[in-house]
Amino acid sequence: MSASIKWLTLAGLLLLSSGCSLISKPATVTPLDNKSRLLQLNAIERYSLQASVGIKTPDESLSGNLTWQQHNTEHYKARLANFLGMSLFELTNNTDGSSILVRGERYQAVDTSSLLWQMAGWSMPLADMPLWLKGIPGNAASAIEYDNLGRVQAYQLTDSTGIVWQLRYQSFFADELALPQKINLSSDDTQISFHIRSWQL
């Protein structure tokens, strides 16, 4: 083997090993301090997300995909469909009020949580959902717990039906905002889990 070929082979091996070391050491993201994080989260008015959702009640177990589109603080649209694509509910909230589509029928409502419970037999704290999806407890939260980084980790939330929920953030994305990735909601008889797959801000 000539000297030039040996040199090229050695250079190629060095580049390959260097590339492998770069790939195997992803850049770490330093999370914001909690005060800065909450300021930025509160400032986010437009976002969308995709999540897997599991719902377990005394009468049934459901699972599906949630699409949430937040246009501003008062305007959002959500759709929860099972894995066959059949809609479990569609929720719209804008300046004209709230409406919910359940089992093919659309209803106008001020209290969407109560309406969902009446129509579907299960509910969730919908009024504060734009906040708790982002990791913000809101004014209705109580018994707030924090993790060792100062982030909100769990709290209690009473919805418009009077149901008391325990909400817990099980994991966060590894970004500066530490957006929620896995959320658990539990009441006396209902368990709801969210696994957020993607955020778009």
Tokens (6 digits) for 55: 């719902």
pLDDT value of position 28: 60
Domains of the chain are 34-200 (2.50.20.10)
pLDDT in tens, 132-178: 999 999 888 999 999 988 889 999 999 888 899 999 999 999 989 99
Separation between Cα atoms, residue 39 and residue 200, nearest integer Å: 18
Separation between Cα atoms, residue 91 and residue 126, nearest integer Å: 9
pLDDT value of position 21: 37
Separation between Cα atoms, residue 52 and residue 56, nearest integer Å: 14
Model pTM above 0.95: no
pLDDT in tens, 72-110: 877 899 999 988 888 888 989 888 788 888 888 888 877
- Phi, psi (degrees; rounded to nearest 5) at 64: -175, -165
- Rounded to an integer, the average pLDDT of 106-124 is 81
Helix runs in 104-182, H state only = 112-120, 129-132
- Phi, psi (degrees; rounded to nearest 5) at 18: -65, -40
pLDDT in tens, 42-53: 999 999 999 999
The closest of 191, 190, 167 to 180, measured between CA atoms, is 167
